[in-house]
Every structure is written in structure tokens, then in C-alpha cells.
Amino acid sequence: MKSSKEIVERALKDPAYAEQLRETAKAAAEKGINSDEHKELVQYFISSENELEELLSGSNHTELFGFTTVTTTTTYTTAACTTTGTTTTTTGN
């Protein structure tokens, strides 16, 4: 699994990558968690197809890590207003 730090560092160094990541995240937020767009976003964070299946199915999260917390923040800015939505999900015992 790639770290968020690794992805952010690459985005800071590579504007084209950053824009592609932004567009992918926006599409995933608009289409929802079970969409093809969400699967495309998850691709940024995985190192193998096995990890993709585990992330999408939710299997092995609590066994491997104990707790899993995912926080997604999306901000849309238009000429009229700025809207921010945050979702946090924690699983484990």
C-alpha cells in the first residue's frame, strides 16, 4: 500500500499528476463509493491488484491493522459559494 505522504509528495512535484488526481477524486466523490470512478481513485493507493480487491471488499482490514479509518474531504468552489463535505469511517474493535 502506498502512503498518502508518497502520493502528496508526487503531486507537489508533478502538476500534471496533481491535476489528474484531483479530477479522479472529484469524479469519485460525485459518483460514490461503489462506482468505477472510486475504483480508479483507489488505484493511486495500491501496490497490487490483491490490495485493490481487499480495499474494495473490506476483507482483512481489521485482521491486519486492528482499526481502519478512512477520511475523505471534498471541497467544491464556484463563483457563488464553497462547499466542503467530510466523511470518516472507522472499523475495528
Top-confidence residue, 27 or 68 = 27
- Angstrom distances, CA of residue 20 to CA of 4, 14, 79, 88: 16, 10, 23, 24
pLDDT tens-digit readout, 42-68: 888 888 878 877 777 765 555 555 555
Confidence (pLDDT) at 44: 87
- Give yes or no for residue 77 having a pLDDT over 90: no
Specify the range with the lowest mean pLDDT, choosing from 7-21, 47-61, 76-90: 76-90
> pLDDT band for position 16 (50/70/90)?
very high
pTM: 0.57
Region 29-46: what's the mean pLDDT? 86
Confidence (pLDDT) at 14: 92
Residue 65 to residue 82: CA distance in whole angstroms:
35
Query: Domain total for the chain?
Result: 1
Give one DSSP letter per residue of 7-68, joined into a string: HHHHHHH-HHHHHHHHHHHHHHHHH-TTSHHHHHHHTTT-SSHHHHHHHHH-TTHHHHHSEE
- Residues spanned by the domain of 76: 4-92
Residue 26 to residue 2: CA distance in whole angstroms:
20
- Angstrom distances, CA of residue 27 to CA of 21, 35, 37, 50, 76: 10, 9, 6, 23, 12
